[in-house]
Structure 1
Amino acid sequence: MIEIMTVCTGNVCRSPLAATMLATRLADLDVQVTSAGTYGLQGESMTDETKRLAAQLAVDPALIEGHRATYLTEAHLRAPDLILAMSREHRRRIVELNPARLRSTLTLREFARLAAEVPDADIVGDASAAGDDDSRRLKAAIDAVTGVRGLTPPPADPADDDIVDPYRRSWETYELTASQLAPAVEQVVRVVRLALTR
């Protein structure tokens, strides 16, 4: 089994939306998706607006209702094969908690931006060369994605690697969050599926 973790601030908007989307879209694979918040509102459900977005994005209703916020600790960072932060600030906090996770932690939009530059064949080839273990295959795919970091220009505005926080803001802000998050999630799904292709 491979494990993916998503991280935001309160764990009631961005990271649970990303996690439940990933879990829904990868449900046929041996993949576990978890989420947590750097200031997690322990035990809280998703905001009503996030639930509405998740339903619109065809997330499994059981995952929507089952989510409860978790406060991020160092222990949460030991197992995941890939950690996807919703902003650069969350990424910094993750690496402060566990510096060993530097190479396997990216913001969600950064991952998507880099992955878009890597052809399917390269991901499949690198994963295949890693053998049959799913974790090693995914690590090889992540390495293929991060390997283009120095070859592709960074965003003109560094904030373009972040997903806007909609908490306690307008419905239009929630919609903006979804418009940034959804295509990035699809790139993660693409890479994971290619990595696990036999």
Structure 2
Amino acid sequence: MDTPRPVRILTVCTGNICRSPVAERLLQAGLDQVQSGAFEVRSAGTRAMVGDPIQPLSADIIKTYGGTPDGFAARQLTPKILRESDLVLAMTAKHRGEVMQMDASLLKRTFTIREFARMLKILEQREADATAPPAVTSPVKSPTPSPASDIPAFWRELPGRAASVRHLALAPDASDNDVVDPYRRGPEFYEQMEDELAPAILAILRFARQHG
């Protein structure tokens, strides 16, 4: 039997040297533990510092969470890269808008990483509600979702499911969708980036483990 093509996840920021590489390397490390070879996570920048390595403080964050920053070179976002992606996770709403300008067909496959994490939590809650025992007064039992035995197929359908609950995952403040850009700024901005990005990554990996 042919091996299914890996699920291709793309993370996007501006220079592709601070935020999106952290998301790329940590998602890849975590998803490899779910099923080796099932996921291919890459990143690109809307105005990339092409060929540059990951910024040192971002590299430190990657290593702190068990990933590796080695062998990285920033690359420019292109329509071809987008066409090859099953899921696009942008670091800010502005980046998401730039992806949409480049390829509007990706509307239901492109999210900011923080809003995508919130959407997965809503899907988790729906699944929990569907599998909970029915109330004694209810004559109808909610259907139990089938297990995701085919991980690539499950994840290729996931963006559409997430998009369907976008209206339920709206942030209290628009800035809650974004991850701060620490480039050419002090260590405190890298700490803020970590504080905003790490919970979203962990939420995505938790969802993947639950469905792996």
* TMscore range, shorter length: 0.7 to 0.9
TM-score computed with the length of structure 2 as normaliser = 0.82
Q: Are positions 1:125 and 2:142 aligned together?
A: no
- Unaligned segments of structure 2, at least 5 residues: 1-5, 129-143
CA RMSD of aligned residues (A): 2.0
Give the alignment partner of residue 11 of structure 1, picking from 10, 13, 16: 16
From the superposition, tell whether residues 190 and 96 of structure 1 become closer, same or farther in structure 2 (CA, over 3 Å).
Answer: same
Q: Deviations over 1:67-93 (max 9, x none)?
A: 110010110001111100000010011
Partner of 1:88: 93
| Aligned 1:1-198 pairs, distance under 5 A | 1-28=6-33, 29=35, 30-60=38-68, 64-119=69-124, 122=127, 125=145, 128=148, 132=150, 134-152=151-169, 154-195=170-211, 197=212
User: Which whole-Å CA distance do the structure 2 matches of 1:145 and 1:122 have between them?
Assistant: 13
Displacement after TM superposition at 1:53 (Å): 1.5
- Unaligned segments of structure 1, at least 5 residues: none
Larger Cα-atom Rg: 2
From the superposition, tell whether residues 127 and 71 of structure 1 become closer, same or farther in structure 2 (CA, over 3 Å).
Answer: farther
Displacement after TM superposition at 1:35 (Å): 0.2
Q: Deviations over 1:61-117 (max 9, x none)?
A: xxx021110010110001111100000010011111111111000000010122122
Contact 1:6 1:83 in 2 (8 A): yes
* SS of the residue 1:114 aligns to: helix
Displacement after TM superposition at 1:136 (Å): 2.9
Count the aligned residue pairs: 189
- Of all paired residues, the percent bearing the same amino acid is 33
**Of 111-120 and 50-59, the range deviating more from structure 2:** 111-120
Displacement after TM superposition at 1:140 (Å): 2.7
TM-score computed with the length of structure 1 as normaliser = 0.87
User: Which whole-Å CA distance do the structure 2 matches of 1:110 and 1:151 have between them?
Assistant: 10
Runs of 4+ in 1 over 6 A off after TM superposition: none
